[in-house]
Amino acid sequence: MNEEMFFGIAEHTITVVGQDGAYTTPITMDYIMITPGQTMDVLLTANQASGYYYMNATPFADSGAPYDTTNTSDILVTPGQTFGIRDEASEYEYPTVGNKAPMIDYAVEVELVFQGTNIGNAENHPMHLHGYSFYLVGKGPGNWDTDNSTNYNLGDPPLVNTIGVPKNGWAAIRFKADNPVGGLSGVIIVQNGEGSDESILPPPLISPIVRSFRKLVLQPSMLF
């Protein structure tokens, strides 16, 4: 559940055109590495001789902890928009280290850096932001510092909802905090905006405590 997977098709290349339901700048490669919880849209051109070609997936081994090393394979049988985001790094607060979840105002533009260094059993680690898609503007080895922001990809960063933070490295994302329900539990909290469309809905007037599913009987009066 925690390991990235490599996937490739013998003697073929794969062109990635989207991630997590959003288009990205196409990139062609011999294989892909996909993070748990991530989705990719790929194009395959059957430009080889008619025949049978192995498709293979194998886990990425970067940790000393035990993991499932099983490979999986199948056989492929073959017959004879761009976008940009504003560069306003000076308006962002740089990351701080602490143990409190910051309260973020509604509709604020946020930069969040995931730091993956670990003195123990470091590994590539998947990260997901509930209720959001976000721009992956940069990643790299070692500890993040302010100089890294000068090399961000602000022209065509991929819009995704899941990323893999590099082993002993970092990944930087940017998003607009316009969903109070979303975020990272215990890491960031997005406050309500104005009106019901920008706020978490209150609990229903009738919210019975369910002590046992077998004992719960809904009465018509409870539904209206």
List pLDDT tens digits, range 195-222: 777 777 776 666 555 444 444 444 444 4
Domain ranges of the chain: 5-78, 89-193
Mean pLDDT of the chain: 77
Write down the CATH number for the domain with range 89-193.
2.60.40.420
Give the CATH architecture of domain 5-78.
Answer: Sandwich (2.60)
Q: Is the pLDDT of residue 88 over 50?
A: no
**Which of 71 and 159 is assigned the larger pLDDT?**
159
The per-residue pLDDT for 173 is: 92
Residues 58-83 pLDDT 10s: 888 776 677 777 788 888 877 654 34
Give the closest residue to 89 by CA, choosing from 178, 158, 152: 152
Asked if the domains at 5-78 and 89-193 fall in one CATH topology, the answer is: yes
Q: Select the more confidently predicted residue: 85 or 46.
A: 46
* Residue 28 and residue 15 in contact, taking contact as beta carbons nearer than 8 Å: yes
Residue 153 pLDDT: 94
- For the entire predicted model, the pTM comes to 0.60
